[in-house]
Amino acid sequence: MFQSRCLRLIQSLGKSQQLKFIHTEPKKRFYKNVSIVQSNGKFEVNLDQRKLKTPIGSPFQIASEPLAQAVANEWMAQKGVINLSQMHVNGLCNTSIDNPGNTDKANLVASILSFLETDTVLFYGEEPPELMQAQVEKWSPIILWFRERFGVQVEPTTDFGVTVTQNDLKIMERHLMSYNWNALQGFAFGVDALKSIILTLACIERRVTVVEAVSLARLELLVQTDHWGSVEWAHDIEQHDTTARLAAATMFVHFNSAQNTVKSKNIQM
């Protein structure tokens, strides 16, 4: 009995390792054309004549035509090797369809809310002195906007912890629960990129642009590197990656929240 269970476990692990290998090893581009097709009121992406599928093999079908266009553009932009890790809209669609974490809406909202107590813009640094000055100048208007927009009482600190009241958490929970499942996936992706609910909301509600939100999230790094020096290429890579992630997240929230007209078409890219 014990041996048979072990054998099944080993076989299961073997399959998971094979799946991991399949989806993480770089693949050469195997297609020439990318097209979008409407099917049963949803949009699919075709690579030549092959229907795009998710990592677990589910049909890749989404309701938003602009997002389908964005995914098609990501596939079309691949050169010799397919770099899935940089295809953020494609990845968000896959996550929404497959739900690999097997989570539900309430748990997803709870995981997003957990960032509020450690929100990037709520922690002010006192050294060097120009850092505090920059944070007061750049972050305080965003915090004030957040407090007024949602009627919460969060305060920044120079200490190690921010106190968030239960009332504030309930207010933000109600707001986040107003998003649909797909939009919340984009929201979670943006919050993880910036480590800030406040900046992500400011970006989604167009209080700041994507570029401005990323700059605000990296404010301490920018001030510290101006003061102490930097490894420019490493910081540039991080900035570009964060910007790409937040842009994809914002787009994903927007097009999963907006009502888009569905038209029958086959668009060749």
Q: What is the pLDDT of residues 100-121, one digit of tens each?
A: 999 999 999 999 999 999 999 9
Confidence band of 255 (pLDDT split at 50, 70, 90): very high
- pTM as predicted: 0.84
Burial class (CB in 10 A: 0-12, 13-18, 19+), 193: buried
β partners of residue 50: 47
Which of 92, 63, 72 is CA-nearest to residue 256?
63
Helices 166-177 and 105-113, interaxial angle, to 10°?
130
What digits encode the pLDDT tens for the residues 215-238?
999 998 888 776 555 555 556 788
Q: What was the pLDDT predicted at 3?
A: 46
Per-residue model confidence as pLDDT tens digits over 31-59: 999 999 998 899 999 999 999 999 999 99
- Domains of the chain listed by start with CATH number: 26-100 (3.30.2180.10), 105-257 (1.10.3580.10)
